[in-house]
């Protein structure tokens, strides 16, 4: 990922900033420029709570090239407690913790790096809440 | 809108075609379709291709193919909608003829995927997903469909074996298609014992990486008899619909709402319903995709398709043969070619020229092609009258 | 710089304003490797590490964890315990580590951005072997006490590396501790500090080198023990306090043996050191070592209890602190994951091959 491409999304990748529609109150993550529910074009940025629930998941064995070292790795669609459904990796899970309905918390992790000399892209991943004391 | 007919149809061998370039494949299919139609010139060309740029470093494929065909003066346009590029090219050709903008249109779908290695091809296919919010998190295309498969399994109790039986069926069909990439007899056990690609999808549940091209010649139905000696196949419906770009944005992860919308529009245009379809090519990029597509098209109630596959309903000889060509799974999936290749198969069936895989007496057939996880959906109904 | 606070009255050249910890937090990786698993590969004698150095297992960062990610999570935990502090009020962010992911580009900029602390903030990365974390605490303490900032964030974090087969491989581990330091809403006051520094070449890593080197047994008596004893003795003298005046003590813990021995040499009892003594199961988290121990103590400490902490950084120096726990501690202990719970909660044990991959000791070609 180019440095500028990662940089402009820090509010979302680092702070889970959603756009809450001023028209209908729907939470959009990632933010939209026009609400798909009410067509409003004004939003208020708000950070999502870091908690959610796994809706569906997979364990990717044939990895995308940037993730080859992590294979096999889990990816899930997580329904955040504030509403948005977000695609993300699930990490630090053990057998039985990767399932629909599993409560997760977002953690700040490395997502990818542009080779050993390039920039590191950071963002959110889900961690099963059963292991958070 | 004018009634539009297909008077020429051709397809190259699909597979790992080390001797053939993107240009050679596109020209081979195009010339064969023109010969099949008995025409030597076209007014317009629509090329369906997903990613010439990333796969062979070549964009501007409309001009490239028109020139390679010796028709550099014509209106040539490349159409892209990820894995639905071919279906969209067919639809653009249909609209050009139906509107009166063109009299003779060539539609060619092509993809050359084996000039890059499999990991790069996987990355290229993932460009059909939202880069920022899906692919950037490491999800691959098999991964997205795997999450749909799991959602379907959770909701309907669909078994891994039922999914595997889709692949087994399509490979059984593919053996009867000389153009297919694989002539391989597979059992559900073989499929289930293949390597896991993205849990719960195994390697043998995923369409392969392929090279190939397919082409069609479209004319107004009123001129079809004059222009060509071939049996006229009418495009009874050409419908397109959409869904959210991201899988996560869907209200239901176990249904293809865009495909259902496109299917409903197509039935309405053609004045037909699911029971009128004698043979259908669906976009089985993964086994679960065939299950969900046939449910979306109204052939089966949601959650019922898997049992129908296991009961042989969708096999050759069954009530509604699906993917007689072998589908994306066995015929191969050069992505831009696929939507066009599906129509070539239905034309072949409706002409009664499908040989060992012929569906006897088929007069109405359907193709369903989709891009991404169904964000682009296109459905055609073809008919001989 | 953050909002300056009104200076309180001076008394005898000392500020009377109480400065201390407003919130604290730690973050530990879930992965572990046992000493036996490492010893097996190198034909080493596991019992000598276990009995001799009191090392049993250590934490291992996942491929997606580094000093920045550990610092962010530890800091979020610290902020959760400093409920009244808006991240935008942090006037300074200092991350101390010897394994910053970038040689050039601060860890602190990513941390501050992730916390929402920017742009009105002073940021620097610190490095002083294993005392970079306490160094960050020391500097933030000074800035708050001097009235330059209202709150500051000090982090000690490392994903330290030991060369394959080297003695350090049995201990070098990963973890982070973060402290919001300010002058109100304190969970513990910082009563006094003392730093002792000399040029003592016991451990180093040259530019562009992947693994550090050390001077063997020279790291012990003339380095660790001499420095920790000097700083600790000086602070006890300065504060007129005796070991018996403390409920807890925590020392830099490169292995299980050194901190217990240095504490006993100073007159502390094993019971005072037990709660912050994490190294046998966590490994040496370098810049995180004594600060993470301090978080484990704060997790259980009661109002009025006094804590002694002394770090050690090769090179060499020690920062010593005296803390007194306040009433507010009871409100915040449960507001974030507790350190010993993170240490003990169902770890994932690695085989050496997996560990070697996670630590970049083997690379895909």
Cis peptide before B92 (omega within 30 of 0): no
Tokens of C244: 């018996």
CATH 3.40.47.10 holds for B136-206+234-383: yes
Question: What is the per-residue pLDDT for A74?
Answer: 98
Confidence grade of residue A132 (pLDDT, cut at 50, 70, 90) = low
CATH 3.40.47.10 residue ranges for chain B: 4-117+209-233, 136-206+234-383
pLDDT tens, B170-213? Answer: 999 999 999 999 999 999 999 999 999 999 999 999 999 999 99
Residues of B in contact with A5 (CB under 8 A): 132
HSE value, Cβ hemisphere, 13 Å, CA-based, for B205: 33
- Rounded to an integer, the average pLDDT of A45-73 is 95
Q: How many CB atoms lie within 10 A of CB B226?
A: 7
Residue B273, SS3?
Answer: coil
- Rounded to an integer, the average pLDDT of A18-32 is 97
Asked whether the whole model's pTM tops 0.90, one would answer: yes
8 Å CB contact of C101 and A120? yes
* CATH number, position C100: 3.40.47.10
Does residue C270 sit in the same domain as residue C247? yes
Phi-psi region of B76 (alpha: psi -120 to 50; beta: other; left: phi over 0): beta
C110 occurs within a structural domain: yes
pLDDT tens, C178-197? Answer: 999 999 999 999 999 999 99
Q: How far apart are CA B364 and CA B281, in angstroms?
A: 12
* Gyration radius from chain A CA atoms: 16
| Residue A115: exposure state from Cβ atoms within 10 A (0-12, 13-18, ≥19) | exposed
- Rounded to an integer, the average pLDDT of A94-98 is 88
Question: What is the per-residue pLDDT for B53?
Answer: 96
Closest partner residue to A67 (CB to CB) among B138, B142, B200 is B138
Cα B342 from chain centre: 5
Q: How far apart are CA C203 and CA A72, in angstroms?
A: 37
Whether C331 is a known active-site residue: answer no
Nearest chain A alpha carbon to C105: A119
Indicate the fold that domain B4-117+209-233 takes in CATH. Answer: Peroxisomal Thiolase; Chain A, domain 1 (3.40.47)
| Residue B251: exposure state from Cβ atoms within 10 A (0-12, 13-18, ≥19) | exposed
Q: Domain residues for C314?
A: 188-330
Q: How far apart are CA B307 and CA B329, in angstroms?
A: 19
* Gyration radius from chain B CA atoms: 19
Q: Is the ipTM of this structure higher than 0.90? A: yes
Task: Mark out chain A residues that contact chain C at CB-CB < 8 A.
Answer: 10, 14-15, 47, 68-70, 89, 91-92, 94, 107-111, 120, 122, 125, 131-133
Task: Find the angle CA(C245)-CA(C260)-CA(C249) to the nearest 5 degrees.
Answer: 30
| Residue B77: exposure state from Cβ atoms within 10 A (0-12, 13-18, ≥19) | middle
Confidence grade of residue C1 (pLDDT, cut at 50, 70, 90) = very low
Q: Which of C29, C61, C64 to mutate to test the interface with A (most CBs of A within 10 A)?
A: C64
B57, B98 contact by CB (below 8 A): no
Does residue C266 sit in the same domain as residue C151? no
Whether B333 is a known active-site residue: answer yes
Closest partner residue to A62 (CB to CB) among B197, B248, B253 is B197
Confidence grade of residue C9 (pLDDT, cut at 50, 70, 90) = very low
Rounded mean pLDDT of chain C? 94
Q: How many domains are contained in chain C?
A: 2
Residues 6+ apart with CB under 8 A from A4: none
Beta strands in chain A (DSSP E): 17-21, 27-28, 43-47, 51-60, 73-80, 85-90, 103-113, 120-128
Percent of residues in chain B assigned helix, strand, coil, to nearest 5: 40, 20, 40
Residues 6+ apart with CB under 8 A from B28: B12, B20, B213
Question: What is the per-residue pLDDT for C16?
Answer: 58
C7 occurs within a structural domain: no
**What is the four-CA torsion angle of C43, C46, C52, C58, rounded to 10 degrees?**
110
Q: How far apart are CA C326 and CA B368, in angstroms?
A: 69
Residues of C in contact with A69 (CB under 8 A): 63, 357, 364
Q: How far apart are CA C78 and CA C181, in angstroms?
A: 10
Residues 6+ apart with CB under 8 A from B186: B167, B168, B171, B172, B204
B124, B80 contact by CB (below 8 A): no
Phi, psi of B211 (to 5 degrees): -110, 150
| Residue C112: exposure state from Cβ atoms within 10 A (0-12, 13-18, ≥19) | buried
Q: How many domains are contained in chain A?
A: 1
Residues 6+ apart with CB under 8 A from B324: B173, B176, B177, B279, B281, B316, B345, B349, B354, B357, B359
Does residue C153 sit in the same domain as residue C62? yes
Q: Domain residues for A18?
A: 3-131
* CATH number, position A27: 2.40.50.840
Q: How far apart are CA C5 and CA C62, in angstroms?
A: 41
Does residue C182 sit in the same domain as residue C230? no
Per-residue pLDDT of chain B (385 residues; tens, 9 = 90+): 999 999 999 999 999 999 999 999 999 999 999 999 999 899 999 999 999 999 999 999 999 999 999 999 999 999 999 999 999 999 999 999 999 999 999 999 999 999 999 999 999 999 999 999 999 999 999 999 999 999 999 999 999 999 999 999 999 999 999 999 999 999 999 999 999 999 999 999 999 999 999 999 999 999 998 888 889 999 999 999 999 999 999 999 999 999 999 999 999 999 999 999 999 999 999 999 999 999 999 999 999 999 999 999 999 999 999 999 999 999 999 999 999 999 999 999 999 999 999 999 999 999 999 999 999 999 999 999 9
Confidence grade of residue C11 (pLDDT, cut at 50, 70, 90) = very low
Does residue C176 sit in the same domain as residue C279? no
| Shortest distance, CA A39 to any CA of chain C (angstroms) | 29
8 Å CB contact of A133 and C342? yes
Sign for the CA dihedral angle at C56, C60, C66, C72 comes to: negative
Does residue C133 sit in the same domain as residue C235? no
- Rounded to an integer, the average pLDDT of C89-96 is 98
Residues of A in contact with B120 (CB under 8 A): 65
Question: What is the per-residue pLDDT for C5?
Answer: 46
Count of pairs with CB atoms under 8 A, one residue in A, one in B: 102
* Gyration radius from chain C CA atoms: 19
DSSP A68: G
Question: What is the per-residue pLDDT for B369?
Answer: 98
Residues of C in contact with A132 (CB under 8 A): 337, 345
Spell A49-77 as b/e; 16+ CB within 10 A means b.
ebbbbbbbbbbbbbbbebbeebeebbbbb
Taking Cα atoms as reference points, which of B296, B297, B233, B237 lies closest to residue B269?
B237
pLDDT at C13 over 60: no
Confidence grade of residue A22 (pLDDT, cut at 50, 70, 90) = very high
Does residue C226 sit in the same domain as residue C310? yes
Q: How far apart are CA B95 and CA C348, in angstroms?
A: 59
pLDDT at A2 over 80: no
Q: How far apart are CA C190 and CA C208, in angstroms?
A: 38
Q: How far apart are CA B345 and CA B325, in angstroms?
A: 6
Q: How far apart are CA A48 and CA B192, in angstroms?
A: 40
End-to-end CA distance of chain A: 34
Nearest chain A alpha carbon to C338: A133
pLDDT at C171 over 50: yes
């Amino acid at each position: 990922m180019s440095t500028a491409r990662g940089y402009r999304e820090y509010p979302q990748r680092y702070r889970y900033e959603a756009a809450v529609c001023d028209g209908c109150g729907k939470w959009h993550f990632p933010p939209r420029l026009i609400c798909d529910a009410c067509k409003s074009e004004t939003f208020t940025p708000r950070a999502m709570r870091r908690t959610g629930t796994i809706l569906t998941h997979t364990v990717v064995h044939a990895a995308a090239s940037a993730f080859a070292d992590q294979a096999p790795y889990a990816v899930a669609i997580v329904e955040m407690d504030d509403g948005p459904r977000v695609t993300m990796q699930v990490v630090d899970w053990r057998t039985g913790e990767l399932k629909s309905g599993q409560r997760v918390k977002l953690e700040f992790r490395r997502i990818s790096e542009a080779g050993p000399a390039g920039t590191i892209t950071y963002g959110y991943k889900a961690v099963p809440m059963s292991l958070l004391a | 809108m004018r009634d539009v007919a297909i008077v020429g149809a051709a397809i190259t061998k699909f597979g790992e075609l080390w001797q053939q370039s993107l240009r050679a494949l596109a020209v081979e299919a195009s010339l064969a379709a023109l010969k099949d139609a008995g025409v030597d010139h076209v007014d317009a060309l629509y090329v369906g291709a997903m990613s010439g740029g990333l796969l062979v470093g070549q964009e501007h494929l409309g001009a490239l193919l028109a020139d390679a065909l010796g028709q550099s003066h014509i209106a040539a346009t490349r159409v892209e909608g990820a894995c639905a590029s071919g279906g969209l090219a067919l639809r653009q050709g249909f609209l050009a003829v139906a509107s009166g903008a063109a009299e003779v249109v060539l539609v060619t779908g092509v993809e050359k995927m084996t000039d890059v290695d499999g990991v790069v091809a996987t990355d290229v296919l993932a460009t059909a997903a939202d880069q920022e919010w899906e692919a950037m998190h490491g999800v691959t295309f098999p991964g997205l469909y795997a999450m749909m498969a799991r959602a379907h399994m959770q909701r309907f109790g669909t078994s891994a074996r039922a999914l595997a039986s889709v692949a087994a069926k399509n490979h059984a069909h593919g053996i009867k298609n000389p153009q297919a990439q694989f002539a391989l007899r597979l059992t559900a056990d073989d499929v289930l014992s293949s390597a896991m690609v993205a849990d719960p999808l195994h390697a043998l549940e995923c369409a392969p990486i392929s090279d190939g091209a397919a082409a069609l010649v479209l004319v107004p139905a009123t001129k079809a008899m004059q222009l060509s000696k071939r049996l006229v196949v009418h495009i009874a419906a050409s419908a397109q619909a959409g869904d959210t770009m991201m899988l996560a944005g869907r209200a239901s992860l176990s249904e293809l709402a865009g495909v259902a919308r496109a299917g409903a529009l197509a039935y309405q245009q053609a004045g037909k319903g699911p029971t009128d379809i004698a043979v259908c090519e669906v976009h089985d990029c993964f086994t679960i995709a065939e299950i969900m597509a046939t449910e979306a098209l109204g052939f089966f109630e949601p959650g019922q398709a898997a049992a129908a596959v296991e009961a042989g309903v969708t096999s050759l000889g069954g009530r509604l043969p699906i993917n007689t060509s072998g589908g994306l799974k066995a015929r191969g999936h050069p992505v831009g070619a696929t939507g066009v290749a599906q129509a070539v198969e239905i034309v072949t069936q409706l002409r009664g020229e499908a040989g060992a895989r012929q569906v006897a007496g088929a007069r109405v057939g359907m193709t369903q092609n989709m891009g991404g996880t169904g964000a682009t959906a296109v459905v055609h109904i073809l008919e001989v009258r | 710089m953050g909002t300056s606070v009104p200076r309180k009255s001076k008394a005898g050249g000392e500020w009377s304003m109480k400065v201390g910890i407003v919130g604290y937090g730690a973050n530990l990786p879930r992965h572990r490797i046992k000493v036996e698993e490492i010893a097996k590969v190198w034909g080493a004698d596991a019992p000598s590490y276990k009995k001799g150095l009191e090392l049993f297992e250590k934490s291992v960062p996942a491929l997606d964890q580094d000093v920045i990610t550990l610092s962010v999570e530890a800091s979020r935990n610290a902020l959760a315990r400093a409920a009244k502090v808006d991240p935008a009020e942090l006037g300074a962010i200092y991350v101390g580590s010897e394994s910053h992911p970038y040689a050039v580009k601060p860890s602190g900029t990513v941390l501050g951005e992730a916390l929402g602390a920017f742009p009105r903030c002073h940021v620097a990365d610190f490095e002083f072997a294993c005392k970079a974390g306490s160094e960050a605490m020391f500097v933030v303490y000074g800035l708050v006490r001097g009235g330059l900032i209202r709150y500051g964030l000090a982090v000690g974090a490392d994903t330290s590396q030991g060369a394959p087969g080297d003695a350090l491989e049995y201990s070098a581990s990963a973890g982070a501790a973060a402290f919001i330091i300010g002058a109100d809403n304190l969970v513990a006051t910082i009563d006094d500090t003392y730093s002792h520094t000399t040029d003592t070449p016991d451990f180093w890593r040259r530019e562009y080198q992947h693994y550090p080197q050390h001077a063997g047994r020279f790291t012990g008596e003339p380095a660790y023990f001499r420095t920790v004893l000097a700083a600790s003795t000086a602070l006890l003298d300065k504060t007129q306090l005796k070991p018996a005046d403390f409920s807890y003590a925590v020392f830099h813990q490169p292995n299980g043996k050194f901190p217990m021995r240095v504490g006993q040499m100073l007159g502390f009892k094993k019971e005072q050191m037990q709660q912050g003594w994490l190294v046998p199961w966590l490994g040496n988290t370098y810049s995180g070592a004594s600060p993470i121990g301090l978080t484990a103590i704060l997790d259980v400490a009661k109002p009025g209890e006094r804590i002694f902490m002394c770090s050690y950084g090769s090179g060499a120096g020690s920062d010593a602190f005296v803390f007194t726990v306040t009433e507010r501690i009871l409100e915040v202990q449960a507001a974030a994951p507790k350190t010993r719970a993170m240490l003990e909660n169902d770890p994932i044990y690695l085989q050496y091959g997996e560990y070697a991959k996670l630590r970049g000791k083997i690379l895909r070609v």
